[in-house]
Amino acid sequence: MYHDSVSFPVYCRECWWGDGWDASSYARDYDFNKSFFEQFSELLKVVPRLALFQRNIVNSDYSNMVVESKNVYLSHSVTQKSENVFYSKSVDASRDIFDSLNIINGSENLYENVEAQGNYNSQYLLLCRGVLDSYYCVDCINCSSCFMSYNLRNKQFNIRNKQYTREGYLKELEKLNFKSHQAREALQGEFEEIKKKAIYRFGNITKCVDVTGNNLLNVKNAKDCFEIYEAENCKFCYRALYVKDCMDFTFGGWSELCYEYVTGSINNYNVKFSSNAFSVRDADYADYCMDCNSIFGCIGLKKKENAILN
């Protein structure tokens, strides 16, 4: 994810996590004749970085921001033991996902889904939750075997918002022959019209209290937050899971008391003005530090404590 022109070395995953180097070798004494930021900038220019942010992954070399997942390809921000994810973004605890965005809550076997919660074996769904065996649907909840429908609740065997018997539904699907590429091209045009007909909620907000933003699930007391789940007391956060008391925070989870944090926060506590850290506690101005406590202005440290400028 770094341009060739960067001044610092960029290591592959195995090299960066390996024991062949130690970020402490880049340590320097604090110079009271220079500002801290000048010295921190100098350190930023020399300490090696990880080419792609990956941890505890299997067969997922061509992916970024992936944690505890398997078989992920050309996808970004995939977590919680997701598996078989291709060309997708923001996928949590789901598997067999293709060309999709914002997929959570154990979704499985999806293609071209956007904002999915607990969907199964479905294609071309937008803002659907708990939907099974369906195609080309918008804002359907707890539905199964629906086709080209919108704003349905607890329905089954619907085509274009018309109720069918099971036998009638299957017979109509056979007539459509939507498995051919030519038929799908025509159906895509109809789906675009369905999107225009559908009625949309002001925000995709579920089981939340005192919140503003969008794509929120089980969140309490949050302001201007987007794509956050299982969170409390947050402000100006994006793509955050299981976080509490965080502000100006993006791409992280299982963390508390974080401020001005960008990218890759996992299991952190009281971390500020930092990025790309795992299991870090009581840290300011840290970048790519793992399993560290009480650090200030450090880069690339692993299992260290009480450090300044490495």
pLDDT at 146: 98
Q: Is the pLDDT of residue 179 over 80?
A: no
Total number of domains constituting the chain = 2
Q: Are residues 159 and 211 in the same domain?
A: no
Q: Are residues 98 and 74 in the same domain?
A: yes
> Using CA atoms, how far apart are residues 103 and 137, in angstroms rounded to an integer?
16
Q: Supply the range of the domain harboring residue 259.
A: 205-308
Residue that is last in its domain, among 146, 162, 197: 197
CB 146 within 8 A of CB 156: yes
pLDDT at 15: 93
Q: Are residues 83 and 147 in the same domain?
A: yes
pLDDT at 77: 96
Q: Are residues 150 and 273 in the same domain?
A: no
Residue that is last in its domain, among 165, 181, 197: 197
> Using CA atoms, how far apart are residues 158 and 186, in angstroms rounded to an integer?
19
When the pLDDT of each residue in the chain is averaged and rounded to a whole number, the result is 96
> Which tokens is 285 given?
């101005």
pLDDT tens, position by position, 197-244: 999 999 999 999 999 999 999 999 999 999 999 999 999 999 999 999
Q: Are residues 93 and 148 in the same domain?
A: yes
Residue 24 domain-assigned (yes or no): no
Q: Are residues 171 and 270 in the same domain?
A: no
Residue that is last in its domain, among 197, 224, 259: 197
Residue 41 domain-assigned (yes or no): no
Q: Are residues 221 and 193 in the same domain?
A: no
**Which whole number is the average pLDDT over 162-182?**
91
Q: Are residues 193 and 229 in the same domain?
A: no
Q: Are residues 191 and 220 in the same domain?
A: no
Q: DSSP states of 126-152 as a string? A: EEEES-BS-EEEES-BS-EEEEEEES-
- Between 142 and 180, name the one with better pLDDT: 142
Residue 293 domain-assigned (yes or no): yes
pTM of the model: 0.93
pLDDT at 201: 93
pLDDT tens, position by position, 46-66: 999 999 999 899 999 999 999
Q: Is the pLDDT of residue 178 over 80?
A: no
Q: Are residues 74 and 160 in the same domain?
A: yes
pLDDT tens, position by position, 238-275: 999 999 999 999 999 999 999 999 987 889 999 999 99
